[in-house]
Every structure is written in C-alpha cells, then in structure tokens.
Amino acid sequence: MLSKRASSTRHAHATPDQDLRPIVLVGMMGVGKSTIGRRLALRLGYDFADADEEIEQAANMSVSEIFAQFGEEYFRDGERRVISRLIEQDRIVIATGGGAFSEAETRDLILERAISVWLDAPIDTLVQRVARRDTRPLLKDRDPETVLTELMNKRRADYSQASLRVVSDNGPHERTVGAILKALQS
C-alpha cells in the first residue's frame, strides 16, 4: 500500500506486457512531469523525452512564442505529432504538456500505445511550483490559482482516464518516482 502522500489507482488500460511500452506522464502544469520523468527514466534504464522541448527544437521557437504567434490549436496539433513520433519507441518515458491529454486524438493515441500516468497534486502545490517559472503561456497576466483551478476542473475527467494515477504533494520528487514504480509493478 502506498503512503498517504503518494497513492495510486490502477485502471484497465495497463496490461501485463507493459514493461517495454512507453510510459507517458500526464497532468497539470507544475506537477513535475519533466523532473519526475527524467528520474523515472534513469531508474528504469529508459530514454526520456520532454514533448515541449521536442516541439521547441522542431519549431526553433519556445512554447510561449508558438502560442503567441500561431495560437493554442496550432501548438496542440504539433504536440500531437511529436508525441505520436516519440510514442513509437519502446522503453521511453515521455513528459507531456499539461493540456496534451485533454486533446481527444492525443489522449486516444497515448491510451492505445502507452502506459499513461496521471501525476496529480493539490492546487496549492501547483501554484507554488508554477511561480518558479514565468514561461507558461496559459498563465500570462493571470492569477495562477484561478487559472489552475479552472484548468483542473476542465481536465480532471480526461486525466482520470489515465492507466495509473499517482498523487504527490510537496515532498521530494524521488518519493513520487517510487510511487510510480510501485504502481507499475502492481
């Protein structure tokens, strides 16, 4: 049984032959998908890819610049294509952007071809974490707590479709990595 601080729920999407399938981390901005993903990949001996970084490299622009110049719909289309390419690999951990799993086509792709892990954290934890970076386009000139609460209300039903759910708090990221590893083995 996982501790109160990091708990897990397994859904029907995870299968016994999952050891080679990509692991895709989904959840709200600021939950730690990139940091936790890198550590998880290291522990598993998997490759790691951050979908936002891959998009930035492909576009030779930052996510904020893509949003500003082309809009969210254009960004989400590129995000889906990048995730589709990355998900073809075995033994890879992929950190997605916060809105990726809310796009039906992207979510279906992830659910069909990978093990999806919803990293969930309380809004107050997310607010503290997003305050560390001012590069998030959906927060530009808005109150982070209000935006994160609105987004979570919109995305919760989508995130709940993930293969696994791991709840973490402000504790060390290693604790969340341990909770994911335990959930993957159950």
Over residues 32-88, the pLDDT tens digits come to 999 999 999 999 999 999 999 999 998 999 988 998 899 889 999 999 999 999 999
Domains defined for the chain, CATH in brackets: 8-185 (3.40.50.300)
In the chain, the percentage of residues whose pLDDT exceeds 70 is: 84
Kindly indicate the confidence band of residue 167, based on its pLDDT and cuts at 50, 70 and 90.
Answer: confident
Whether residue 6 contacts residue 168, with contact meaning beta carbons closer than 8 Å, is answered with yes
More confident site: 141 or 47? 47
- pLDDT exceeds cutoff 80 at 149: yes
Mean pLDDT value of segment 75-103: 94
Query: Hey, what are 160's tokens?
Result: 């709940």
Q: What is the pTM of this model?
A: 0.84
pLDDT of res. 132: 60
Residue 11 banded pLDDT, cuts 50, 70, 90: very low
Task: Determine the pLDDT at residue 180.
Answer: 96
pLDDT greater than 60 at residue 172: yes
Q: Which residue has the higher pLDDT, 17 or 106?
A: 106
Mean of per-residue pLDDT scores for the chain: 85
Q: Which of 10-14, 25-29, 95-99, 133-137 has the lowest mean pLDDT?
A: 10-14
**C-alpha distance from residue 106 to each of 27, 56, 86, 110, 135 (Å):** 14, 18, 12, 6, 23
Residue 143 above 90 pLDDT? Answer: no
pLDDT at 138: 58
Residue bearing tokens 């969210």: 72
Which DSSP string do the residues of the chain spell out, in sequence order?
Answer: ---SSS-EEE-TT--TTGGGS-EEEE--TTS-HHHHHHHHHHHHT-EEEEHHHHHHHHHTS-HHHHHHHH-HHHHHHHHHHHHHHHTTSSSEEEEPPTTGGGSHHHHHHHHHHSEEEEEE--HHHHHHHHTT----GGGTTS-HHHHHHHHHHHHHHHHTTSSEEEE--SS-HHHHHHHHHHHHH-
What confidence tier does 17 reach under pLDDT thresholds 50, 70, 90?
very low
